Chain A
């Protein structure tokens, strides 16, 4: 993660070399500038909601209503997490009878049948990842709301991790869809999707939306990081 080298690769170097999460930094917001989240262009003398002259995207200092939207998605995801784990995701009808599998019973099935690697993959992707995502996003939103300075670098890393692993919890939804498409053998076996898979899919989508609504810059917006006028001038002349 240490790529300060690549930044100073050119002789100019960056205008700020902080290297330490606790140093006050020169932020765009602190200079009345806004960067376009779509094309990355930095603008000054700009008002909130004005359109980017390059790409036309409305500019915002921070994502609008970020905290409120994140909470809404997170609360909905928490509610759906319960049926996602309790209701069957897959229903297997064979000559021997009907079997209803929840996510956990799928994990146990693989575990007892000796495929512990698969049991681990499904347990991680379907149970741990969503739980970890929910807990992480709640922590991030709560600390950002309180404008906390607690472990900001770790929180930034946590946010990037949540963004990367989010998609992998779709695994079971794909497994069930494929099995339901494949096992339709008349008179022998038939696999259908259970209602749990809908709840589970909605947890994945809701947590992804929560992560997209959250503005990671809020983590760094503590009251005491605004540069003084003197510092700004030094920065601009540099």
Chain B
């Protein structure tokens, strides 16, 4: 097998294109089917580390404090996200509890931690242990993190409760809001860029890049 370094194949329709260098913030779409082919991550690469750290901090706050508190006839009740998961487990809804735990806590947290680890080690110019596995895991986790859907769920629940009890928004609610915005930026970073970053040195060192010959 031989690498064809200057070509890119559309993931949506398999059409071949020659790679072009994109300008800042440019996104290339396949003219045939419209699938995104490539995007310039120049500015994003500088921002991604601070955004990841900020997301992790917000994540901790969002999960440590109550999301909402309700007051009903002088009685108060409050819950964190994890508390909600726990009460599902005690009601015999373990499968649903696991799904909620995975999509709102576990997967987003793993994504952020892997990203932080990869970014920090690539800064020191080396490909860390488990590089392949981590980048692949990040790509597979991508569709399953659902913090933004959860935030909408909280808002629906708050309105639903407001007819029945007094609702006091908690610190975690605001943290989830900020986290959603931050994650939108973090998740738009394609893990595939790690391969380009990790091999940037190799490619320059003159390997056999003959490309295709007729």
A86 at the A/B interface (Cβ < 8 Å)? no
A6→B79 contact, CB < 8 A: no
Quick check: B14 and A156 within 8 Å, CB to CB?
no
Are B75's CB and A188's CB within 8 A? yes
**Residues of chain B in range 104-144 having any CB-CB distance to chain A below 8 Å:** 104, 132, 135-136, 139, 143-144
For the residues of B in contact with A, the DSSP-based class is mixed
**List of 4 A-B pairs having minimum Cβ-Cβ separation, nearest first:** A181-B84, A174-B153, A35-B9, A3-B29
Contact between A18 and B1, CB atoms less than 8 A apart: no
Q: Which of B50-58, B64-72, B178-186 contacts A (4 or more CB under 8 A)?
A: B64-72
Q: How far is the CB of A70 from chain B (nearest CB, A)?
A: 15
Q: How many residues of B contact A (CB 8 A)?
A: 80
Complex Cα distance, B9 from A217, in Å, reads 11
Using CB atoms, name the residue of chain B closest to A193: B93
Chain B, Cβ-Cβ closest to A13: B20
User: With an 8 A cutoff between CB atoms, is B214 at the interface?
Assistant: yes
A18-42 at interface with B (beta carbon < 8 Å): 18-21, 23, 25-29, 31, 33, 35, 37-42
- Which residues of B are interface residues toward A (Cβ below 8 A)? 1-5, 7-9, 11-18, 20-23, 26-29, 31-35, 37, 67-68, 70, 72-73, 75, 77-79, 83-88, 91, 93, 95-97, 99-100, 103-104, 132, 135-136, 139, 143-144, 146, 149-150, 152-154, 156-157, 159-161, 163-165, 192, 195, 199, 212-214
For chain A residues 153-171, which have a beta carbon within 8 Å of chain B? 153, 156-157, 159-160, 163, 166-168, 170-171
A182 touches B70 (CB 8 A): yes
A interface vs B, CB < 8 Å?
A: 1, 3-4, 6-7, 9-10, 12-21, 23, 25-29, 31, 33, 35, 37-47, 50, 53-57, 110, 113, 115, 118, 121-122, 125, 152-153, 156-157, 159-160, 163, 166-168, 170-175, 177-186, 188-189, 192-193, 197-198, 201, 205, 208, 212, 216-217, 219-221, 232-233, 235-237
Please determine whether B23 and A16 come into contact, CB atoms closer than 8 angstroms.
no
Choose among B13, B31, B165, B195 the residue that contacts A40 (Cβ–Cβ < 8 A).
Answer: B195
Q: How far is the CA of A64 from the CA of B37 in the complex (A)?
A: 22
User: Given that A17-B31, A38-B139, A53-B3 are known contacts, is A118 also in contact with B96, CB under 8 Å in the complex?
Assistant: no
Give 18 A-B pairs besides A159-B12, A160-B35, A189-B72 with Cβ atoms closer than 8 angstroms: A3-B31, A6-B26, A7-B20, A10-B21, A14-B17, A16-B16, A21-B33, A28-B15, A43-B2, A43-B3, A110-B160, A122-B156, A156-B34, A180-B93, A183-B161, A198-B93, A217-B13, A220-B15
A14 and B31 within 8 A (CB): yes
Query: Please, how many angstroms separate the alpha-carbon atoms of A220 and B83 in the complex?
Result: 47
Q: Which of B11, B13, B75, B157 contacts A219 (CB 8 A)?
A: B13
- Establish whether residues A115 and B14, one from each chain, have CB atoms under 8 Å apart when the complex forms: no
A189 to B99, CA, bound (A): 26
